[in-house]
Amino acid sequence: MAIHMQSPEQRKQLVELKDLFIDIGAKDKADAEAMVEIGDPAVIAYGFEEMANGIAIGRAFDDRAGAFVVLEAARLLAKENPNAEVHAVATVQEEIGLRGARTAAFGINPDIGIAVDVTFATDHPNMTEGTKRKSRIELGKGPVLTRGPNINAKLFTLLVETAKEENIPIQINATPGGTGTDANAIQINRSGVSTALIGIPLRYMHSPCELISLQDLEACSKLIAKTVEKITPETNFVPF
């Protein structure tokens, strides 16, 4: 379980061997039995690798995956003729105070900002407790759109409508406070920015063996690009 989801007591305990499992990207028991047999050996070998069912494993997908999504969205937009001025930013020091997002948003002074980050996938055994406190999020089921006070209501609606029109699967995560992502810093920049947060489902956050779905990456980039294409200087994001 990711450290963010652990209780203070759990953080002090070592994980016992009986509580560990090896994630091979299988969809179910039958899929796993087709990949391995009982007694097959395993070794620790951290590094990027594509697994079964469109899943990839690697270090620091938090937030290399987000940087890829932003750049891919910019590449898709470059083929079109968007009415909005687009800035693609890879921020630094998010983990120690959202510092890069603060300076970048201040310098650009955008009308809207879409932050991209990973979010907790809860579709594996040791997140059972976590699912009681978080929305059900699964790998391969599409971008995660956060809804709450950190998010502009009209921008959220535009993302949802665009996803439906483009047949992009989405998942919704309700967050009643700040999100702890760059969306926090963007939203309160200068006199305020209309902000949204797109999450990439990820298993085993802050470990050297994070898992993501490559389909989710593509869907996130497409959703951003298609949404930005709709935005014009006249688009009004005032909620009321």
| CA nearest neighbour of 229 among 27, 29, 74 | 74
Strands across the sheet containing 49-50: 49-50, 55-58, 210-213
Q: Is 50 a catalytic residue?
A: no
Query: Do residues 73 and 88 lie in contact, with contact meaning Cβ atoms separated by under 8 Å?
Result: yes
- Of residues 94, 161, 165, 218, which has the active-site annotation? 94
210-169-145 Cα angle (round to 5):
65
Q: What is the bridge-based pairing of β-strands 171-174 and 144-147?
A: parallel
- CA 148 – CA 159 distance, rounded (Å): 14
List, by residue number, the catalytic residues: 94
